[in-house]
Amino acid sequence: MTLVAAVQMVSTPDVAENFDTAARLVAEAAQQGAQLVTLPEYWPIMGMTDADKIAHAEQAGDGPIQQFMSALAARHRIWLVGGTLPLVSGQEGKVLNTLLVYGPDGQAVSRYDKIHLFGFTRGEESYNESKTIVPGSAVGTFEAPFGRVGLSVCYDLRFPELYRAMGECTLIVVPAAFTHTTGMAHWEVLLRARAIENQCYVLASAQGGVHRNGRRTFGHSMLVDPWGEVKSLLREGEGIVLGNVDPGVLARVRESLPALKHRTL
């Protein structure tokens, strides 16, 4: 079995403050034996405006946020799924919302640029990520010692075809900053659906609380098993979720209900 962890944060506009929080929570997870740890979406900065992250955009392979994640993975000898950070996009006034994965040696091993950009309006609550983010175009996975890991971010959760395109995974990760409104309605049911239909573990690392910019995120970081059962959950606030990825459970689910083999499309 492999112990995995999801970090839940309530990120601020202060990057240094967020570094301190992430370092403390990742260390806590590693001390408890986690071999893979994921950070939430927007963990390095949750600005007062959506455009604030543009000033912190880094070139791929260089910059303080990437250096921090690389060092953190190497220090604790873990696989670190680095939530998301802003990378330079080539389009003025816009960034890529990028998930980077680092191995236990601190080397970057995989990258995924968020494909689906969140848009939601209800009353005075309104979000439009496409104003400041350029969408990615390529599916992201990597091979961990315990199996293939599929990479996705937040709003991607609503698009099951993305997960089918990953192939058979042992684990899918979902760093997120779900709003409280949409999270209350859809977060858990979508996570459990992705686990059930892909017969794999799903590890979701969320923002969870009221941020300094007034935004409220839903939290509820969790690990869901291939049968769709929630194995570990943190509702709100900073903290970690821990649970095992058990190859025996994975095999039993796929043997007793071989839905992946019954696919015709």
Active-site annotation, residues:
41, 114, 154
Task: Name which of 10, 77, 26 is nearest 241 in CA terms.
Answer: 26
Alpha carbon 73 to its chain's center = 16
The three-point CA angle 174-171-156 to 5° equals 30
36-38 and 2-8 beta bridge pairing:
parallel
The three-point CA angle 37-41-47 to 5° equals 135
Task: Name which of 31, 39, 9, 70 is nearest 207 in CA terms.
Answer: 9
Long-range contact set of residues 18-25: C-beta below 8 Å, sequence gap at least 24: 18/43, 18/44, 18/45, 18/46, 19/44, 19/68, 21/238, 22/68, 22/72, 23/68, 23/72, 25/238, 25/239, 25/240
Helix (H, G, I), strand (E, B) or coil at 179: strand
